[in-house]
Amino acid sequence: MDFLKLFRGEKPDVPRAADPPPAEQPPGEEQPPREEQPPKVLNAEEVEQAIIEVLRTVYDPEIPVNIYELGLVYNISVDSAGKVVVRMTLTSPGCPVAGSLVPEIEGKTRVIPGVTDATVQLVWDPPWNPSMMSDAAKLQLGMF
């Protein structure tokens, strides 16, 4: 499933059986509401992969690389009840986006099927440094 489409408000490209045509109802009679299938609940590994996809959509506004590739995410844990904790840091303790980044990540994570709660823990140890970036991030920033 393409979770990025879900977060953009787009309908995912999910193959499904064609809906049967609506039954003819005599005038004045209401048709019973259709029962929708609940979203598929993901296992812990699938939830972690979905969270990584979400984190790749979150950017530090001062650096044109997502927070995951920047190496700002130290750990993602998903327990059996669907509670998620993302341990991460920022490029500096005085980072101006600290107040908006945490709720953005928590909000995007909470809508993943199987997630019951999401918490972002900002940590400062170990302090972030450029060696924590992925090779893709370094390449994008011209650091090779």
Asked if residue 122 belongs to a domain, the reply is yes
Encode pLDDT of 67-114 as tens digits: 999 999 999 999 999 999 999 999 988 888 888 999 999 999 999 999
Prediction pTM value: 0.70
In which band, very low, low, confident or very high, does the pLDDT at 44 lie, cut at 50, 70 and 90? confident
| Full domain range(s) for residue 47 | 3-9+41-132
- What three-state secondary structure class fits 66? strand
Asked if residue 80 belongs to a domain, the reply is yes
- pLDDT above 50 (res 134): yes
Task: Give the mean pLDDT of 28-37.
Answer: 63
As for how many domains the chain has, the answer is 1
Q: Where are the beta strands (DSSP E) in 34-109?
A: 73-78, 83-88
Asked if residue 90 belongs to a domain, the reply is yes
Report how far apart, in Å, the C-alpha atoms of 129 and of each of 38, 90, 92, 98 are.
Answer: 43, 10, 9, 17
Q: What is the pLDDT of residue 34?
A: 63
Distance CA 69, CA 133 (A): 6
Asked if residue 29 belongs to a domain, the reply is no
CATH number assigned to the domain comprising residue 91:
3.30.300.130
Distance CA 22, CA 56 (A): 41
Asked if residue 143 belongs to a domain, the reply is no
